[in-house]
Structure 1
Amino acid sequence: MTETVIIDNGFTLAGFTSGNEGIWSRNAPLDPPTSDYVRLSEKLGIQLSRFLRPYQAGGDRVETVTSEQVGSGVIKDSDFKKVDGLVTAEKGIVLSIIAADCVPVYLIDNRAEVAGLLHCGRKSAAGALLHNAIERMKELGAVPSEIQVTIGPHICADCYEVGEEVRAEYAKAFAPKELESIFELQGESLHLSLRSAIRLKAAAEGISSQNITAINCCTCCHKEYYSYRRGDRGKQNLAYIMMKSL
């Protein structure tokens, strides 16, 4: 199990892990939890019944989680289908998402005691996923100027070659000057920086640059993590975040 500790302080625990097998999804709703979830539960000392994972769709939908939904997607069928973002104001709930090159985005407002976790792929990085998450957090009392954003391990721009149709897609969401920081030409190849796109989206939501942090780890470069672009199929990494119970 390879793991990057994202946050570990008196208030928040967050991480990014490959697991031993990279399998976090069960084949059927009534199947038992995967061995990777069991091992992570044991490692963290947190019961599996406190974990939760949505069935992701690469979209912009964000849902608010309460203790009534814990266990969803881990020990039972998920209450959250076609959902790529979760927020909560309850401590002791472990929000989790799977990713294999897409960006896990960790959100925390310590003062309001609100946390969130997003699965941000190419479309979501140009879409409304982050905006929707901030709006959900605001409903729970969070303030954008207090929200800390951590951009987790994901495929870096050097590894992420895309076509001109992607730049055309992003041109609908970003200004021409912004596109210059999102895309880079390497020879004749066009490369996309998801990190830059997410930073710009966060700034547009009123989040200070001082409150935006990026973990310098590429899932494609670092072979201890699973990478769709590198050829891994059916295996993913897991991102998780929890506000600690005091």
Structure 2
Amino acid sequence: MRTDILMDDSFAVGGFTSGREGIWTRESADMPPTSDYAELSAALGTTPEKMVRPYQANGQRAAIVVPRHGGSGIIKDNELTRTDGLVTAHRGLALTVIAADCAPVYLADRKAGVIGLLHCGRQAAAGELLRNGIGCMESLGASKAHITMTVGHHICGSCYEVGEEVYSEFAESFSAEELSCIFTISEGRFFLSLFQALRYKGLELGIAPENISQWGECTCHCTDFYSYRRGDRGKQDLAFLMMR
């Protein structure tokens, strides 16, 4: 098990973990939380009843969660279906998303007391998930001027080979200059940097350049984490973020 902490201060605790078994989903709604969730909740000084996991779909939807969502996806079913971003203004409610090469994006407005956690694969990086997540934060009083955006552990641009059709999809959302930073093209092969795509999205949405950062390692290179591209199936990593 490896757990890396992104932040741990009076405002929030957040990070990324492989867990002991890499199992974060239950086989049925009436099952208890997985041992990894039980262990992580204890390490965070909370309980599974105060953690939230959406049913992700590599989509564009972000949702605001409140205490009644506690335990969703962990000890009970919930309405957070086809949801890849969570936002809250409630302290003590831990946001979590599963990842196994996709990029977790940690959002925080310390002044407003609002946080968000997004699961960003290539569809989200080219789409509207970041916009929708920031929109949810703004509806709770956050300001783009104060939002910090950190992209956590994910597959790097040297490992993430995609097809030419993906390049064409991104060409609908980014300029030629931006595409030259987002993609490395070598001998007809296309390699995608999720961080660069998300950085440009953040800048377009009004996040200050100095408030956008990258943290962590390549999940494909680093064997301490699970990686879909490296061949891991059925086991994943987990990103988490909780206001104290």
Match of 1:74 in 2: 74
Q: Quick check: 1:104–1:120 contact (8 Å CA) kept in 2?
A: yes
Greater than 6 Å deviation, 4+ residue runs = none
Counterpart of 1:171, as a letter, is: A
Q: Equivalent pairs: percent with the same residue?
A: 51
Deviation at 1:43, TM superposition (A): 1.6
Looking at structure 2, the residues matched to 186 and 50 of structure 1 have their Cα atoms a distance apart, in angstroms, of 47
How high is the TM-score relative to the length of structure 1? 0.97
Is the deviation greater in 9-18 or in 182-191? 182-191
Distance 1:77 1:125, change over 3 A: same
Matched, 1:156 2:156: yes
Deviation at 1:186, TM superposition (A): 3.4
Matched, 1:209 2:213: no
How high is the TM-score relative to the length of structure 2? 0.98
Looking at structure 2, the residues matched to 213 and 190 of structure 1 have their Cα atoms a distance apart, in angstroms, of 24
SS in 2 for 1:119: strand
Match of 1:146 in 2: 146
1:112-127 to structure 2, matched below 5 A, reads: 112-127=112-127
Match of 1:219 in 2: 219
Looking at structure 2, the residues matched to 213 and 8 of structure 1 have their Cα atoms a distance apart, in angstroms, of 17
Q: Quick check: 1:111–1:146 contact (8 Å CA) kept in 2?
A: yes
Match of 2:30 in 1: 30
Looking at structure 1, the residues matched to 216 and 43 of structure 2 have their Cα atoms a distance apart, in angstroms, of 24
1:1-246 to structure 2, matched below 5 A, reads: 1-244=1-244
Residue segments in structure 1 that go unaligned for 5+ positions in a row: none
Looking at structure 2, the residues matched to 15 and 58 of structure 1 have their Cα atoms a distance apart, in angstroms, of 21
Number of residue pairs the alignment of both structures matches:
244
**What's the Cα RMSD here?**
0.8
Looking at structure 1, the residues matched to 31 and 24 of structure 2 have their Cα atoms a distance apart, in angstroms, of 12
